[in-house]
Amino acid sequence: MAIFRIVIVLLLVAAGISFALFALTSNACYKRAGLRILAGTLVAAFVFFAILIVDQLA
C-alpha cells in the first residue's frame, strides 16, 4: 500500500510540473499531458480507496 501511495504522489507531482511548464511556455501540449496525468491519478486514487473499503468490509 505504501508503494501505491508513493506512485499517486509522484503522479501528482508530475502533473504539477506539467502545468508549471504550461504556465511558463504557453505550450498546449504540456496542458494536455498534465490533464492526462491528473485523470490517471484520480482513477488510481479511486481504485486505491475502493481497495481500502473492500478490505474493511472483508
Mean pLDDT value of segment 37-57: 93
* 18 CB neighbour count, 10 Å cutoff: 20
Cα–Cα distances in angstroms (integers) from residue 23 to residues 5, 14, 16, 18, 28, in the given order: 27, 14, 10, 9, 10
pLDDT score of 58: 76
* Position 40 pLDDT exceeds 80: yes
Domain count, the chain: 1
pLDDT score of 54: 94
CB 23 within 8 A of CB 49: no
Q: In which domain, by residue range, is 26 found?
A: 2-57
